Amino acid sequence: RIAASGFMQFSPEIVEVLKSLDEWSFDVFALGKAAQNQPVRYLGYDLLNRYGCLSKFKINLQTIENFLNRVEQGYLRYGNPYHNNLHAADVAQTVHYMLC
């Protein structure tokens, strides 16, 4: 279910954490640790893939990886202790949970 492009590689730890993506008890902190502080990159890719957006809109995998990296870097730019990349991943997962 979790696809890895030639660019993004999902470690076994990331795959394990993402198994609970559909649950309220999803541990975004575990994802942050497993993803080496890049939770938006991996969660964003996984959600876009699960919802079929990548194939439906024929999004180039390198392009989506670059986009998610830029989004992640934007959240890290100012070192905000709350509105950061971990919070963004948490909000994305919560919205996903409510939709599924």
Each residue of 18-46: pLDDT tens digit? 999 999 999 999 999 999 999 999 999 99
Please, which residues have CB within 8 angstroms of residue 24's CB and are 6 or more apart in sequence?
A: 97
The reported pTM is: 0.91
Task: Evaluate whether residue 72 is within a structural domain.
Answer: yes
- Please identify which of the residues 19, 83, 91, 95 carries the catalytic annotation: 83
Task: Evaluate whether residue 4 is within a structural domain.
Answer: no
Task: Evaluate whether residue 93 is within a structural domain.
Answer: yes
Please, which residues have CB within 8 angstroms of residue 17's CB and are 6 or more apart in sequence?
A: 27, 30, 31, 34
What mean pLDDT value characterizes the chain?
Answer: 94
Task: Evaluate whether residue 5 is within a structural domain.
Answer: no
Domain residue limits at 21: 12-99
Active site residue 83: yes
Domain count, the chain: 1
Query: For residue 1, what pLDDT band results from cuts at 50, 70 and 90?
Result: very low
Is the CB of residue 89 less than 8 Å from the CB of residue 32? yes
Task: Evaluate whether residue 1 is within a structural domain.
Answer: no
Task: Evaluate whether residue 48 is within a structural domain.
Answer: yes
Task: Evaluate whether residue 73 is within a structural domain.
Answer: yes
